[in-house]
Structure 1
Amino acid sequence: MSEIKRQAELAKRTEPVLGSLTTEQKNEALLAMADALVKRSEDIISANKEDLERGAASGLSSSLLDRLALNEQRIQAMAEGLRQIVELPDPIGDVMEEFERPNGLLIRKKRVPIGLVGIIYEARPNVTVDAAGLCLKSGNAVLLRGGSSALSSNSKIVEVLHEALAATSVPADAIQLVASPDRSSVDEMLKLNGWLDVIIPRGGRSLIQNVVQNASVPVIETGAGICHTYLDETADPEKALRITMNAKIQRPSVCNAMETMIVHRSYAEKHLADLADKFITAGVELRGCAAAVELAPVIHPAAEQDWATEYNDYILNIKIVGSLEEAIDHIRQYGTMHSECIVTETKEHADRFLQEVDAAAVYVNASTRFTDGFEFGFGAEIGISTQKLHARGPMGLPALTSTKYYIYGNGQIRE
């Protein structure tokens, strides 16, 4: 048996225990995990330094190094995420439906854990904590496979979590980390039928597509984020500036950051040059269509592949359109059904945008950066689903459950 299958089997064996734990027992474990992260923050930062040094030597971009980096503040935020999960309602055992059939059968539909959840993700070690916390609160075991660039950080974090769980009712084997940096470990996870109940990929488009196209285990597809903000002809200039700057530069390395700003021609003729200068001052490289370059020469010409690129960096595309319909068509062609925004003072345009844009989250006059479990009040999130089955958008605790029918009879048989 391979090491990954051995880990999957260890995690799978914890399912009966996890499914029978009380909310209080799970919360106690989560609090112990949060306290341990803070207490051992120096050890975690030391391990993270190893990853950062390797990443810098291998040529990782500044935005990827930012995603990888841990400090006291980020570790405190990870611990706070676990504490927020404690405050969230436990979905396990919720009765979603209850009804009685004419023959006297009482039928209840209840939430139950999925089982063993596989998470494949890239450079952000905070995902290790978020995924472990959400899975345990929802009664699931978890098999984690982080990016090789964060191996030292993830290994130390899981070591800390295991030590914290030793004094709780939650078995430490419920959290497993695949330590192999070899890509074959991902390929093996994709075929772990009989062990893994679902795989959730978190990362760039190439990772997600590899999982979706090659997994025989069921997949919840999370989002590569080619997110757009459309500045309508009636957009308020102050709102437009605040929203677009926040959507691009507040943290460009994440999936809900804006990658393309679409601008109505009449608005662009009045405001694009000023907007472009402000982005340049903020350190953003601008690439645009011919009309955008003509209106603001600081913009470089965009290539066709730019519109379909998730930069996760200080790079922004600018597209000039003549109508709302043209803006929506551009989003349909290049969007990834993640997060899309319109800035407008026209209610009819806002309503059409909300109705016609097919995405997990659609905004009117607010930054796409809000597509996040924390900001939606879900606590930490397991990912942002861009598919339409089972779960869509930021995935909190209910998205990590399945359902089971409980049928109560009194001797009924089917005629």
Structure 2
Amino acid sequence: MAVTHTFAIGREQCFQQIDKLIKSHSLHTSESLCKLLRYLAEHSLDHPGIALKEYQIATEVLGRPTGFDPQSDSTVRVQAGRLRVKLAEYYSHEGVDDAIVVEIPKGSYALTFHVRPGKAAIQPAPILDIESHELKAQVPAPTRGWAIAVVVLSVLLAATFSTTAFLLSQRTRTPDSVVQAVPDAYQIFWNRFVTAPQQPWVIFSNASFVGHPNTNMHYFNSASDARSVILDHYTGVGEVLAVHQLDHVFTLLNSQIRVKRGALFSLDDAKNNDLIFIGSPAENLTLLEIPGTQQFVFRKAPAPRNGDVEVVNVHPDRGEPETFIASPSNQPISEDYAVIGLEPGIDPVRSMLILAGTTTMGTQAAAEYVCREDSLAELLRRLGVSKAGELMPFEALLRVKVSHGVPVKTDLLAVRKRAN
């Protein structure tokens, strides 16, 4: 993707901006993201026009072994997504007055440097011409017509709704004169959502919390907490990245999504719209009021796992366990389970898609699964679907391997088709 700068930006000025970002409140606590940012900056400035591969980043920056397989391990994509979120957070708060804006365009790992509109011209310097050949179509660099406040608070794996809004505002559009090839799997799976009269609503979970993020923040307990102190504007990091993934796919399909947090969603919204729910009923409380999955059902686990969430296999096939539960919540999560459910909407002519894990990592993995060509193709094969119009309601169960808070491998364990 060619980047044309309104003003010339010197190499030294670019590295000064990178140093400023690394020392910022948004990034300085994350060593891995700082390391990734500096690596991407050095490669973009030292080797313009040479595309970075996920394998390089994984083995040279993130410490992955030489056997790293980007097809089955999404670590690089996830870390790049988190870095995009952090950059958005920085430029909406600490860096709101910075003249130089650093971004990572979708579909590329090459940083772009450009002057924020309305700022004084940078001192003359050699112009940088940075290109990425990873994108099949040449598209314009993202613009910033207006700033959206973005806050990502990593408390109980939480991030605010404004991050989602910012991600949607930064989508990179493909010119009408350029046609990107859309994988068949995308067109088959998402057909009912992109051909509907109205754009689907994406409803992401935001459970009720009380307390302060820096002290004792916890889930709202109706028996001991006052409703007047409820904080209902938090969501999981996995939910934020899930919205980002969906936005990318719908952009490829020349369509859009509408986004709303669960606390603001009403049943009236659901009657005449297609819906995509992100997050389990444990946190996406709207799902408690709407008929959801029937084969793989979420519930609070009994003792000794009180407080955790498990998936109940209502009609297990031979050899299948009756329940699936993630790693204990008081330990680092290494395994999670997630459900993908395509169900009829409140109005039977509308559709409802549920993407939910027992934790935020599982939710992220479920969204990634239906937003990646290879995994989506596998799901369609298991369902026996080969063309648009054949896809009927179903439920699928996923096992998610997690490393350092990142989903790294997702397996399709079981599929259930709804009986006609």
TM-score normalised to structure 2 length: 0.28
Q: Which has the higher contact order (CA 8 A, sep 6+)?
A: 1
TM-score normalised to structure 1 length: 0.28
The structure with the largest helix share of the pair is: 1
